[in-house]
Amino acid sequence: MPRMTAARAAVEILKREGVRHAFGVPGAAINPFYKALKEGGGIHHTLARHVEGASHMAEGYTRAAPGNIGVCIGTSGPAGTDMITGLYSATGDSIPILCITGQAPTSVIHKEDFQAVDIAAIAGPVTKAATTVLEAAQVPGVFQQAFHLMRSGRPGPVLIDLPIDVQQTEIEFDPETYEPLPAFRPAATRAQIEKALSLLLAAERPLIVAGGGVIGADAAGLLREFAELTRTPVIPTLMGWGVLPDDHELHAGMVGVQTAHRYGNATFLASDFVLGIGNRWANRHTGYRLDVYTEGRTFVHVDIEPTQIGKIFAPDYGITSDAGAALELFIEVARELRAAGRLPDRSAWVGAAQERRATLQRRTHFENVPLKPQRVYEEMNRAFGPETRYVTTIGLSQIAGAQLLHVYRPRHWINCGQAGPLGWTVPAALGVATADPEAQVVALSGDYDFQFMIEELAVGAQHRIPYVHVLVNNAYLGLIRQAQLGLDINFQVNLEFENLNAPELGVYGVDHVKVAEGLGCKAIRVTEPDGLLPAFEEAKKLAAEHRVPVVVEAILERVTNISMSRTMDISDVSEFEELATEPGHAPTAIRELTRPV
């Protein structure tokens, strides 16, 4: 039987589980693993500038393609605690990533040794499993189980903590005979699907709500086929955006209190039946007024995780199943019903949804200087085609982007949905671009998200990872400022200052162009509407030529209120128009144009 260190056995297992890339930062307590990584070969490593950044790179890598599992690596102590945010983000969105940390020697873990912390206990609530391996012989089994857990049921992250002495201990292990454990995914029965379809057929105005589970199961094609068979309009959630092209006749828009379309909310409120597949009824989708969301509608909920069914509200019928397995049966039964002439004509309902989409659009064409954000997204739609992969996290930039951009393919809107940590976008975009190096990757950030982990741009410069980063800058915490309107305050959300080294920026403060260039990237600043499209085109050329991140900074007007509900009610969404705005201050008046929808 071959003998090798436990660290080397772990590396060999990673390769046989399909890992080809890892992101991390070495340190004393994880150096034996890095030695094994170097000697074992076969896994490319990207050196991050911050270990939290490494965890988000792993997330982006996983989210970019079916079957990917991103790996992030750090040393003991603060490296693990820094990666907790990435683990939280991954678990909230059902994203499998593997976090590997070093640890102090087993003999001193509980003696307050330098950088010794019980990271397994800290990570437990935000992982499917978190284990400190105390016996070297257990390393192969723990890694095998980790991949099994990440792929089974509702996907999610796992943390493995390796004391330095465990890494260095030799064990008997034969990588040539290693086999991954088969993943377990529950599957619907035909009887369950027939019952669900009977409820759909009984409805007059049905909808499908397609969540991130459909994309996670690589089942967007099946979802589209089922929707077309039954002529049922589709409402994607924010995590499910891309299951249908935006221009598909059955795409009914997104629903919610923030990242929603006017026509999506209107069509949902007119519906009488909802089939949710692979979604978790997140509150930005349903709002807090669940009575408004559910009243007058029959609900069927299909989800891979049984505890998700009934967690937010009780559906009329629930099915525990992988989205792909359920959709295969939905299609099989629907085809039989069509052959028997039992599928109803939905032309009037589909036509009504299309009419709402044609008439309930928000205005985007503004000539204002400084720029209105809506114009930025209008020009992004012109510059970046259907093949574009968008990456973003949270803020008014993300909310407006979700309302105004267009997505045509699954995994082309890569968004941190549940956790929404600032700083996520730069490293996640690097992970996406690493997974798909020939793709047109476009990240979207407000100025504060961009500043949180701006140092990771240097990773793109060092490792030649090209993408375009659209930075909308209003020198404000825009989403929090808008939320504070309800409290009649504007407090500690203003980022303006006079930069002594860049007086031309005025109150916009940080010179993002110089910072990006100082980190080895290219950058362009845009101040007028007609400059947006040429800047985006130039950014694409620069990224392709130099193979580095290219930042396009758009200088926005200081205050723009983006459409959303202040009452967390999908029937009560405000469409704002600002009047008499003074530079650096909130509007002197705000007119709510449409409230309710």
| Catalytic residue list | 25, 51, 422, 477, 480
Q: How far out from the chain centre does Cα 268 lie? A: 24
Non-local (6+) Cβ contacts of 452 within 8 A are 422, 423
Alpha carbon distance 196, 273 (integer Å): 11
Q: Are 340 and 351 in contact (CB under 8 A)?
A: no
Q: Are 347 and 231 in contact (CB under 8 A)?
A: yes
Exposed/middle/buried for residue 190 (C-beta within 10 Å: 0-12, 13-18, 19+)? exposed
Q: Are 414 and 426 in contact (CB under 8 A)?
A: no
The dihedral formed by the CA atoms of 467, 472, 475 and 479, expressed in degrees to the nearest 10: -110
DSSP bridge partners of 317:
300
Exposed/middle/buried for residue 154 (C-beta within 10 Å: 0-12, 13-18, 19+)? buried
Helix runs in 203-271, H state only: 212-216, 220-230, 262-269
Q: Are 465 and 553 in contact (CB under 8 A)?
A: no
Number of H helices, E strands in the chain: 24, 21
Count of alpha carbons within 13 Å of 459, Cβ hemisphere only?
26
Non-local (6+) Cβ contacts of 484 within 8 A are 490, 491, 493
